[in-house]
Amino acid sequence: MPRTKKIVKLAAPWMRVFQYCKLHRYQATAAGIGILILLLLAFPFRFLVMPALVNGQPIWSWNYVGKLHQQAGQQVLDQMISEALIEQEIRKQGIQVTAAEVDQQVAEINDQLGESSGGLEAVLALQGISRDEFMRQVRLNLAMEKLVAGTIQISEEEIAQELKDNGGTATTAADNLRSQKLREAFGQWFDNLKAGAKIHNFVVNPPVDLSKLPKI
């Protein structure tokens, strides 16, 4: 009598993988998270995903950004939008600010601060502003002046009235009037610029509390 062969049905390779993953899904998940954290620790720009690690517990960037947005998010976004509009117009009109102009402006600011304040570097440190950011702001302000400087005029009568009201010298009076008119002209110019701009604000208002997202 012929012997009956016992047929062993082997699972397909993908089925074996599925079964293994199903049996060990929790271990795999934990290991995956551990590997992710190790990679983040070695990654030079890990702060983009994990700004801090407290006794092994990560603080994720979405929680961090959520808190920031609750505190000053819209104000910061409005400032960034305004600067983007201004910088676009500066490039469009081909306005240039030289290094010499920036250095002169910085020197004047430093002189105005005087020694009593500790100088420019001390003021920047107190306000938490880097020198590079300060120089960028100076360059931007000078370019902004050039945008509207050609639209203002100061008459002798206005200087005389300024001297009568506030005293000082003719030079000081002219400088004060120029600063005032520049602010007014720029404010009007910027309002018109913003009114004609296409701005898409994708920030939800009221803001989504990102800190309430599921934690990993």
Per-residue pLDDT of the chain (216 residues; tens, 9 = 90+): 555 554 444 444 445 545 555 555 555 555 555 555 555 555 555 666 777 878 778 777 777 777 777 777 778 888 888 999 999 999 999 999 999 999 999 888 888 877 666 778 888 888 888 889 999 999 999 999 999 988 888 899 998 998 888 888 888 888 889 989 999 999 999 999 999 999 887 765 545 554 555 454
What's the whole-model pTM score?
0.62
Cα distances from 100 to residues 85, 96, 114, 142, 184, in angstroms, run: 25, 12, 21, 12, 27
The pLDDT of residue 19 is 54
Cα distances from 104 to residues 18, 109, 114, 173, in angstroms, run: 70, 9, 16, 21
Give the residue extent of every domain in the chain: 13-59, 152-198
How far is the C-alpha of 47 from the C-alpha of 60, rounded, in Å? 9
Task: Give 36: exposed, middle or buried? Use CB within 10 Å, 0-12, 13-18, 19+.
Answer: middle
